[in-house]
Structure 1
Amino acid sequence: METGQQELRVFVFPLMAAGHLLPAVDIAKLLANQDARVSIIVTPGNAAEVQKTTHLFSPPIEILVIDWPYPVAERRDHMSQLTSENEHLDFLISTADLRPSFEQMVKLRRPAAMITDMFYPWTADVAEENGALRLVFHGINFFSLCLKDKLLHNSISEINGDRFVVPGIPHKIELERSQIFDPTKARPDFVELLERMKEAERRSFGTVVNSFYELEPEYADHYTEIIGRTAFHVGPVFLRGGERGGEDKITSWLDSKPAGSVLYVCFGSLSRFTNAQLREIAIGLESSGHPFVWVVREDYEVAEKEVKSGKGVIVRGWAPQLVILNHRAVGGFLTHCGWNSSLESIAAGVPVVTWPMFADQFFNERLLVDVLKIGLQVGVTKYTLREEERELVKAEEIAAAVGRLMGLGEEAEERRRRTRGLREAARRAVEEGGSSRKDLGRLVRAISSRQSAVFHM
């Protein structure tokens, strides 16, 4: 660092949900590797876990614990601890109470830039008031950002028919009306939050995206050139942000299986199922004839008696997903289509069966199935957080989808070829001279320019 030059200081402020928190921490690591002085803002219940993955950096990544009376009083400051739709919405809306503590941190440390979650629209005001750049982190890809721009902020009444083609995007993408968020049926305070998010994003400097250009070039261009937003694609962030998780006893079981023979099954930290659906999943996996690893919530009463042949393993709670997906024995992934899981599967070269439920998951399904052509769908059609409202997917439907994914034949082999090609492209993107490495440098230069301008005022 040159004499008289200030440290490049950046705040990273993620939402306390796995799909947002984990990649945001990896982005913080990428910036720290570029000699930025990075502070990650977390709530008390998440500080220790984040510290475990960041303490080896030099200079160290700073962990700032923010005061948030509402959830901390109940020791529920991570979305995976919540069980109902209203609890999720209350959680998101209450994050506005974080503003006073965050403002104090900004005034004390004066960051040049802040990468803050989309659910914190008020950080746009804080950034403007303190001369900092605000960059938005959505936790989704360019494809979903483009579809969201077309659909989620418009009235669903403008859509004609139960099935429609999304207008004005590079591919012909069809969706069911039931597969997208309907603001007319949502809580008014949540709809108001969405509007504030949209307005704050317009005022922000740009968007940091956990994707790579070669994966979705038409949509990266559409987002920047047609929608007109500045964006930095820096992913897959876990490939250079540091591996999450380590070896686990499940790997010894995988070691005993033939290459490409095992199906990995995981629906993320927020998805929930009825007991009836869990039984159908268990029976379907068992009857598919393929060995499997199924990760379930610790509070599930899964009918283990349905998994009786010894072909499958049930893992309760956390599992080392990156390790499992990259094991030679794993040849397929039954997934909820959260973007973290989808991108991890792509980077591991593993094709997918798609089972979306809410958020951006139905959009991701269309990217995986229609655009990238590396997945096939189990057939769900209803967007909802409420497990009791979902259609029951029968065991035979699950077994059939798994059989198509894991089986022989040209269709299955073509998915595998495509996914292997994307795996190699993902790795090239984060290497020296790769598209994501270049965009990370572009991001650092933009932040440096802002800090230099403020420093010399």
Structure 2
Amino acid sequence: MDSQLHIFFFPYMAPGHIIPATEMAKLFASRGCKATIISTPANAPHIHKAIESSTNLGLEIGVLPIRFPTQEVGLPEGCENANSVTGKEMEDKFFTAVTMLDQPLEQLLMEHRPNCLVADIFFPWATEVSAKFGIPRLVFHGTSFFALCAATNLFLHEPHKQISSDSEPFVIPNLPDEIKITRNQLPDYMKDESDSELSDFLKKVKESELNSYGVIVNSYYELEPAYADHYRNVLGMKAWHVGPTFLCNEEKKGNKAETGKQASISEQECLNWLDHKKPNSVIYVCFGSMANFDDAQLMEIAVGLEASGKQFIWVVKKGKHEEGVKEEWLPGGFEKRMEGRGLIVRGWAPQVLILQHQAVGGFVTHCGWNSTLEGVCAGVPMVTWPVSAEQFYNEKLVTQVLGIGVGVGAKKWARLTGDSLKREAIGKAVTLIMEGEKAEQMRCRAWALGVTASGAVKEGGSSYADLTALIEDLRLQRNGCGSK
């Protein structure tokens, strides 16, 4: 029998899922496994680019195509990524297309018979499909243990249904720490009881997770030990932490900017700009690939940054600027006044490189888990501005549990467009993490967490050991010696 394990990775079609799943595939391949990433045609080129240096080093990583049924659901040709979705109608069509991937996945599993399927939480049918072939399915959420614990306890106990006001804080039950949240900060899908289709989907998600082989988590034990223990020992979930995945691949790939899309500014241009700044003097502002802000909110951010007096790099999504069109979201003469002090990146930025530069002393973030982890590993304190998904949970982890950030004051979960905040709140939060004794204490704590992150992925570290245990489990399962 061939001793090499073959692992399939099937991420949800969004950058925040594809990037860590690709890193995870490289991680398994670096430990002697054969890794195959399932991708729709439009997303495949980014994945091929991300794995190129690893395959050049001899690691066994491949990409298998799966057709995304855009035509069948009425989506534009090539709309195969969640960050191309605008509005509720398109989002519904996109999810309908996702539910139609079960049969193509079954066909791929039948043809290739991998030893394990790591499938995204948004594919609840993957557990049943893989079970037909006796293939263990691991669930990938792409978030923290803390968020998993918070979401699970809210699902189990439903305290938000006992609250009369959307803005009234209540305690999330059964957590190691007293964490308060409001109904406004919970995802729409937890509050909308009238949507029976959504309710059925969430039930299937939970059932598929409970019936799966286990959960793989892009985190490390030292970051959230109480919540890793709570998830496994109190909530009874079989789970392995193997992250931060991007650190695992850093030395092998050499180029920290190769995952994701092509940066709209050259790495060298960015680094040259930062090289002329003092240590911890620059604030980095970025809200990920999915969050949108209207022109009025972008104007508030611009004015808030200017008023803070701090140097900054600010990443603004493409679509907010067109050739020859006046940018209404910038104050008149803003870029001229900010010359040398502020750098606006329009589109995609080499985020890891920027965060790890010694000149960067703070990070304004939407609290997506990948960005949060990258901020932690860089040892920078954060201004938290959650928008959607599980980001309000991650904010609580950063500000209340870890004590390495301050909230900007976002109060409402939003599917696509972030909560509106005024320039004064933005400027104040930026100042709080960049100046004074409290800022220095947060920076020290963040730096210490960054050091433990590096240790976790090295041989002998907690994540290295958990991955070893998982691979061994899968070997035993393949040989008929394991148990679910």
Smaller-chain TM-score range?
A: over 0.9
Q: Deviations over 1:46-70 (max 9, x none)?
A: 1111011213422431100101222
Q: Residues of 1 paired with 2:196 and 2:302: CA distance?
A: 38
Structure 1 pair 391/65, CA: closer, same or farther in 2 (3 Å)?
closer
Aligned pair partner of 1:245 in 257, 262, 266: 257
Aligned pair partner of 1:33 in 30, 35, 39: 30
Structure 1 residue 403, shift from structure 2 partner? 0.7
Match of 1:227 in 2: 235
Match of 1:334 in 2: 364
Structure 1 residue 190, shift from structure 2 partner? 2.6
Q: Residues of 2 paired with 1:340 and 1:153: CA distance?
A: 26
Aligned pair partner of 2:387 in 357, 373, 384: 357
Structure 2 residue 162 is the aligned partner of structure 1 residue 158 = yes
1:412 maps to amino acid: A
Match of 1:98 in 2: 101
Aligned pair partner of 1:402 in 420, 427, 430: 430
2:64 maps to amino acid: L
Q: Deviations over 1:79-102 (max 9, x none)?
A: 111122442343234211111111
2:177 maps to amino acid: H
Question: Is the Cα–Cα contact under 8 Å of residues 383 and 406 in structure 2 kept in the other structure?
Answer: yes
TM value normalised by structure 2: 0.89
The alignment partner of 2:187 has SS state of coil
Q: List gaps (5 residues or longer) in structure 1.
A: none
Structure 2 residue 181 is the aligned partner of structure 1 residue 178 = no
Moved more, 294-303 or 359-368: 294-303
Structure 2 residue 211 is the aligned partner of structure 1 residue 198 = no
State how 1:228-377 maps to structure 2 within 5 Å: 228-242=236-250, 244-245=256-257, 247-300=267-320, 301=327, 302-303=329-330, 305=332, 306-307=334-335, 308-310=337-339, 311-377=341-407
Aligned residues: 449
2:433 maps to amino acid: L
Moved more, 80-89 or 377-386: 80-89
Identity %: 41
Q: Residues of 1 paired with 2:59 and 2:161: CA distance?
A: 53
Q: Residues of 2 paired with 1:189 and 1:248: CA distance?
A: 49
Q: Residues of 2 paired with 1:225 and 1:454: CA distance?
A: 23
2:379 maps to amino acid: G
Question: Is the Cα–Cα contact under 8 Å of residues 408 and 425 in structure 2 kept in the other structure?
Answer: yes
Structure 1 pair 304/31, CA: closer, same or farther in 2 (3 Å)?
farther
Structure 2 residue 215 is the aligned partner of structure 1 residue 211 = no
1:245 maps to amino acid: A
TM value normalised by structure 1: 0.94
Question: Is the Cα–Cα contact under 8 Å of residues 295 and 314 in structure 1 kept in the other structure?
Answer: yes
Q: Residues of 2 paired with 1:436 and 1:59: CA distance?
A: 20
Question: Is the Cα–Cα contact under 8 Å of residues 264 and 293 in structure 1 kept in the other structure?
Answer: yes
Q: List gaps (5 residues or longer) in structure 2.
A: 259-266, 321-326
Runs of 4+, deviation exceeding 4 Å: 152-155
Q: Residues of 1 paired with 2:236 and 2:18: CA distance?
A: 27
State how 1:407-418 maps to structure 2 within 5 Å: 407-408=435-436, 410-418=437-445
Question: Is the Cα–Cα contact under 8 Å of residues 93 and 193 in structure 1 kept in the other structure?
Answer: no
Match of 1:168 in 2: 174
1:170 maps to amino acid: P
The alignment partner of 2:288 has SS state of coil
2:225 maps to amino acid: P
Structure 1 residue 386, shift from structure 2 partner? 4.5
Moved more, 176-185 or 216-225: 176-185
Q: Residues of 2 paired with 1:95 and 1:200: CA distance?
A: 16
Structure 1 pair 73/384, CA: closer, same or farther in 2 (3 Å)?
closer
Structure 1 pair 35/323, CA: closer, same or farther in 2 (3 Å)?
same
Structure 1 residue 188, shift from structure 2 partner? 3.4
Moved more, 88-97 or 323-332: 88-97
Structure 2 residue 43 is the aligned partner of structure 1 residue 16 = no
Structure 1 residue 214, shift from structure 2 partner? 0.5
